[in-house]
């Protein structure tokens, strides 16, 4: 029987023989090119590189980080200050508005008390009492109730979205779809011409001294800013007021606003509406009216007392107030 010679023992193999790349990186961390450059520098008699550029770079990074940190802290403090100032301003505005509303309520209560005293003083003079009542309705000094017309105006749909409320000075979007003071003036004047006896806009009663103004982005009536939509309530004869207004300049103007500029408008008749008295009506001049008044005996036109707020006969302001 022939014996087979034993195979020569296999040479010992390193455990990390399969990780040549990792072994090379651990044993020779410096790239051969850098090593060759270092040897060439030594052969020329130059001193080895000390790595001074590295610490300079680290210092530069540290300084830049400090500057960025200081800048961020400063900007954060400024932003916090602005937020606090804005919050204080909003608080002051809300407090002032609340105080104004409370004073307006007190004025309305005092006006009601004065009206009751006037009625009591004129109990024996039915003619003067009726005339005073008529004048108080015309001037807005007393609340009125009755049937009438309600007109609602609002901005075009694309402009009423809060996301599109950008600064108009920085935006190229069309501003024609916004309801302006001139629109309210024309509509209210058309209502007066159609026979309206009393008008209010968003709860603000129109009087002979009312002005409808446009300040920045806000519409102001009786020095009070209004918020959209703008609701115009007019009291008048339900049989004639709607038709005369719709067939007159007011109806044509509303049709133009809607058709040409996209402004939303709605007209509806109401069986009963209540208009509060205006708190802006003040009595500055008053005096007894004698039975032998010369102007009345001659049949001449009466003159409105200076500063009384009463309109002259035939006058009609272009601000939208009562004619």
Query: Do both 196 and 247 map to the same domain?
Result: yes
Let me know if residue 24 belongs to a domain: no
Strand partners, 264: 154
Query: Do both 88 and 150 map to the same domain?
Result: no
Structure tokens belonging to residue 221: 């009536």
d(CA 242, CA 253): 15
CA distances 301 to 186, 291, 308, Å, are 29, 16, 16
Query: Do both 110 and 151 map to the same domain?
Result: no
DSSP letters spanning 99-164: HHHHHHHHHHHHHHHHHHHHHHHTTT-HHHHHHHHHHHHHHT-S-EEEEEEEEEEE--HHHHSGGG
* Torsion angles phi and psi, residue 211, rounded to 5: -125, 135
pLDDT tens sequence for the chain (323 residues): 555 555 555 555 555 555 666 666 666 655 666 677 777 777 777 666 555 556 777 788 888 888 888 777 777 766 677 788 888 888 888 888 888 888 878 877 887 787 777 777 766 666 666 777 777 777 777 788 999 999 999 998 876 555 555 444 444 445 678 999 999 999 999 999 999 999 999 989 998 888 899 887 788 998 888 888 999 999 999 889 999 999 999 999 999 999 999 999 999 999 999 888 776 666 666 676 665 444 443 443 433 333 333 333 333 444 566 66
d(CA 113, CA 134): 18
Query: Do both 111 and 150 map to the same domain?
Result: no
pLDDT value, residue 52: 52
Query: Do both 244 and 209 map to the same domain?
Result: yes
Let me know if residue 236 belongs to a domain: yes
Let me know if residue 117 belongs to a domain: yes
Query: Do both 259 and 201 map to the same domain?
Result: yes
d(CA 81, CA 87): 10
Let me know if residue 306 belongs to a domain: no
Let me know if residue 131 belongs to a domain: no
Query: Do both 271 and 150 map to the same domain?
Result: yes
d(CA 232, CA 150): 6
Query: Do both 92 and 155 map to the same domain?
Result: no
Query: Do both 150 and 104 map to the same domain?
Result: no
262: left (phi over 0), alpha (psi -120 to 50) or beta: left
Let me know if residue 64 belongs to a domain: yes
Query: Do both 98 and 153 map to the same domain?
Result: no
Residue 183 sits in a domain of what CATH number? 3.30.70.1880
Domain with 65, as residue range(s), is 53-121
Query: Do both 322 and 248 map to the same domain?
Result: yes
Number of folded domains in the chain?
2
Query: Do both 187 and 261 map to the same domain?
Result: yes
């Amino acid at each position: 029987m022939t014996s087979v010679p034993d195979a020569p023992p296999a040479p010992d193999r390193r455990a990390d023989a399969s990780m040549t790349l990792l072994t090379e990186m651990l044993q020779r961390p410096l790239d051969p090119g850098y090593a060759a450059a270092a040897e060439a520098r030594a052969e020329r008699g130059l001193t080895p590189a000390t790595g001074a550029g590295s610490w300079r770079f680290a210092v530069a990074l540290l300084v830049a980080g400090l500057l960025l940190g200081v800048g961020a802290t400063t900007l954060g403090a400024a932003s916090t200050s602005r937020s606090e100032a804005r919050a204080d301003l909003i608080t002051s505005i809300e407090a002032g508005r609340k105080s104004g509303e409370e004073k307006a309520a007190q004025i309305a209560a005092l006006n009601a008390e004065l009206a009751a005293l006037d009625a009591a003083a004129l109990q024996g003079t039915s003619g003067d009492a009726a005339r005073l009542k008529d004048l108080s309705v015309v001037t807005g000094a007393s609340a009125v109730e009755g049937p009438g017309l309600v007109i609602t105006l609002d901005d075009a749909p694309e402009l009423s979205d809060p996301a599109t409320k950008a600064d108009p000075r920085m935006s190229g979007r069309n501003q024609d779809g916004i309801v302006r003071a001139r629109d309210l003036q024309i509509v209210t004047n058309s209502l007066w011409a159609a026979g309206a006896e009393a008008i209010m806009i968003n709860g603000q009663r129109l009087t002979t001294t009312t002005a409808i103004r446009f300040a920045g982005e806000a519409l102001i009536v009786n020095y009070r800013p209004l918020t959209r939509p703008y609701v115009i309530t007019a009291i008048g004869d339900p049989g004639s007021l709607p038709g005369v207004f719709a067939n007159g300049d007011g109806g044509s103007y509303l049709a133009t606003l809607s058709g040409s500029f996209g402004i939303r408008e709605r007209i509806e008749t109401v069986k009963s509406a209540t208009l509060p008295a205006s708190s802006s009506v003040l009595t500055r001049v008053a005096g007894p009216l004698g039975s032998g008044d010369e102007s009345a005996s001659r049949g001449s036109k009466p003159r409105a007392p200076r500063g009384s707020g009463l309109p002259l006969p035939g006058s009609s302001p272009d601000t939208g107030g009562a004619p």
